Structure 1
């Protein structure tokens, strides 16, 4: 309940900075209990104009600090940062090896939506697992590293993450999956339903776990042609994955891998053995193929409704191609052609790639692939503590780039209550009319009046007091200050300096009592505007 995503937009960078300052002062005076309601109100009550600010926060102090910081970044918002059309997103689903005990536990505890979808996937897998998958994950049981549990657990997490994002309005225009990740990708693309995918994944993991151990995988810097030549002489080794430039994985018999490793290191190519229980995507998987195909043949073939960039084919599936028993069987031993699939995805590039998995690993690979190097790759989770905060950060990033999420889904019911916020501050630099008012000069005050008692006429007293306070906070001499200097742009004031200035003005003008920062904010443009504001307040106080 204490996490929110605060949003603000304007039609120009300058207007955005002006309103960031206005909101920062208001937020600084809020309580933690108000944060979610304040953020929800900002999501609903502010028009989504081209220049946008969005940030996740779990406390008003942090939010105020971020607002002030963004307002002071002159280069952060310019004519090149306006949100254009709505983002076009692709989902990239991770493969085996990213699992860990209690993965996504923070999100399960913090998000009702995610909890619902994880339990839905766990229920679909229940006929094939001893312990409900979500319970095995959350218990912190190292059993999640055993292939028979790993693959169903990863599938459940990926399904729940993808469905949660889709409920939040983050919908993919295309999908790609690395190895086991293709099953959740197929569900999102509507080529498999949840029940059928759960059965395939559970059976696949169980059959792999039953294979003899003793195989391994080796991450190398070898180029694809070089890797193919090396495995040609080793029938028990295959090219497990082509992940990107200098990221080739070999898979197979441990002894054969050692021989290949020695050859590669003689050539100066670094190799890293991977910690796996079996040699996935290698000839050592062959003994399970016929058993798996019999199960897969009872699952209806499906055609993806979304562009499906296959890591088996290394390209976009054509409209008539099906994900059938033959495809899922070939999938077991085939090379994971991830680089080719991402390159294919970039033939019509998305604006963003969202990695769907319990921690980001594909994002680093994607950044190394030439066609995708400039596309932002964003993750949902970093570790077991990742929760609403990280989910909110993803939504904030996408909203700044043009997405309008389904904000209501992000907040609990208690957070969906409107609160009063400062009105949008419009520029006062230009007016479409000008009217000169002629007023009589004010009558001189009697010698015994309160203002005269200070020994200085009120306007001069205020001007001197403001200049001295500003000089004390900023440094320098007060008689060298020009009243036209602007607090933010010329004098370099930030939120801390403004609060100190407020305190010093209260001490210098005790008859005004405690000054209201939200009321003062519109006058904190220049020294001159602050002098005018305080002069009016002082006259009103004396009149009382």
Structure 2
């Protein structure tokens, strides 16, 4: 019904509780993040609460919504949905429900489900947290004409290292955006259906532009020796039996430098720094192997060998086992820490 609207407030529901109590017709319609709440209700009540919250120092913004979605004002719409037959099949893929704020179990997404979703708040932050925790996606792809959910997810801060992709980022988007999205997924192991991606008339050879290899960064196992100059040798990995007990990398010891008190993260940072020759300050927990550090398959093999040498308790881990964790430096450290815990049990 007309006469309703929505506003977004940079605050959590607990901070908004006093103002909402004074305006009972206004409700929290979407919980998008720790400080990202959408309010819904009649326009006059929204105007009053918006003015009050602005006076209290909260940032507010009116949304371009002609209705008070996810509020009691949607009851007539919900009643129509409940009366309409919905033919729903079992989920073919895991679904993170923004109605329940968790992964769907055996609940059908029937008419009652969608009617409830219309009247109840959207639990986006909780659903995203459940998806990251239970599924651990490497990429989150938004399908829609504008980047809305990717922006909300980025603000929520609970991505767990997943990369956000959008193949159609608005009217200015081109086919290149789709191609770059597919390329990002392909680099991380997805095998696209190329026959469906490109029409036959577009499958033509394209000459590659010539280029000169950059000499700014070297990726050899050891730097080449120069004539007349001393060769700086890097310390070889020390076998576990020769390491002093207080220097064995484990959860029970402490480490200094990058990674703080996380010895596994420290070992990963040192291995990445040695393989890539990067300055230590560049190899942070959030650094992505492919996009930020330019790792290729040869460097991944070298990294595997160095990690196994620095973390003897990991044992031997195959590249295939490591691949899903190669989203970032931090995600690899978390994976290796899990391997250590499992093999110590």
Match of 1:363 among 146, 150, 162: 150
Per the normalisation by structure 1, the TM-score is 0.36
Larger Rg: 1
- Counting only pairs closer than 5 Å after superposition, residues 325-474 of structure 1 correspond to structure 2 as 325-348=111-134, 349-372=136-159, 374-416=161-203
Go from structure 1 to structure 2 and tell me whether the alpha carbon gap of 1:288 and 1:395 turns closer, same or farther (over 3 Å shift).
Answer: closer
Q: Secondary structure at the match of 1:372?
A: coil
Contact 1:235/1:283, CA 8 A, preserved across alignment: no
How far residue 373 of structure 1 moved from its aligned partner, in angstroms, is: 5.2
Contact 1:252/1:284, CA 8 A, preserved across alignment: yes
- Counting only pairs closer than 5 Å after superposition, residues 17-32 of structure 1 correspond to structure 2 as none
- Count of residues paired in the alignment: 209
Q: Secondary structure at the match of 1:391?
A: helix
Go from structure 1 to structure 2 and tell me whether the alpha carbon gap of 1:419 and 1:277 turns closer, same or farther (over 3 Å shift).
Answer: closer
Contact 1:312/1:331, CA 8 A, preserved across alignment: yes
* Counterpart-to-counterpart distance in 2, 1:243 and 1:232: 21
Contact 1:343/1:369, CA 8 A, preserved across alignment: no
How far residue 313 of structure 1 moved from its aligned partner, in angstroms, is: 0.6
List per-residue Cα deviations over 1:411-448 (Å, max 9, x = no partner): 22134356899xxxxxxx9xxxxxxxxxxxxxxxxxxx
* Counterpart-to-counterpart distance in 2, 1:229 and 1:391: 46
Go from structure 1 to structure 2 and tell me whether the alpha carbon gap of 1:284 and 1:409 turns closer, same or farther (over 3 Å shift).
Answer: same
* Counterpart-to-counterpart distance in 1, 2:207 and 2:65: 55
Contact 1:311/1:340, CA 8 A, preserved across alignment: yes
Go from structure 1 to structure 2 and tell me whether the alpha carbon gap of 1:403 and 1:301 turns closer, same or farther (over 3 Å shift).
Answer: closer
Go from structure 1 to structure 2 and tell me whether the alpha carbon gap of 1:364 and 1:373 turns closer, same or farther (over 3 Å shift).
Answer: farther
Which residue does 2:242 correspond to in 1?
A: none
Which residue does 2:8 correspond to in 1?
A: 219
Contact 2:19/2:53, CA 8 A, preserved across alignment: no
Greater RCO between the two (CA within 8 Å, min separation 6)? 1
Contact 2:5/2:42, CA 8 A, preserved across alignment: yes
- Counting only pairs closer than 5 Å after superposition, residues 9-24 of structure 1 correspond to structure 2 as none
List per-residue Cα deviations over 1:157-179 (Å, max 9, x = no partner): xxxxxxxxxxxxxxxxxxxxxxx
* Counterpart-to-counterpart distance in 2, 1:301 and 1:391: 30
* Counterpart-to-counterpart distance in 1, 2:207 and 2:54: 66
How far residue 375 of structure 1 moved from its aligned partner, in angstroms, is: 1.3
Match of 1:290 among 59, 79, 84: 79
How far residue 241 of structure 1 moved from its aligned partner, in angstroms, is: 0.7
Q: Secondary structure at the match of 1:371?
A: coil
Report the aligned-residue RMSD.
Answer: 2.4
Contact 1:215/1:253, CA 8 A, preserved across alignment: yes
Per the normalisation by structure 2, the TM-score is 0.56
Q: Secondary structure at the match of 2:171?
A: coil
> Gaps (5+ residues) in structure 2?
209-219, 221-345
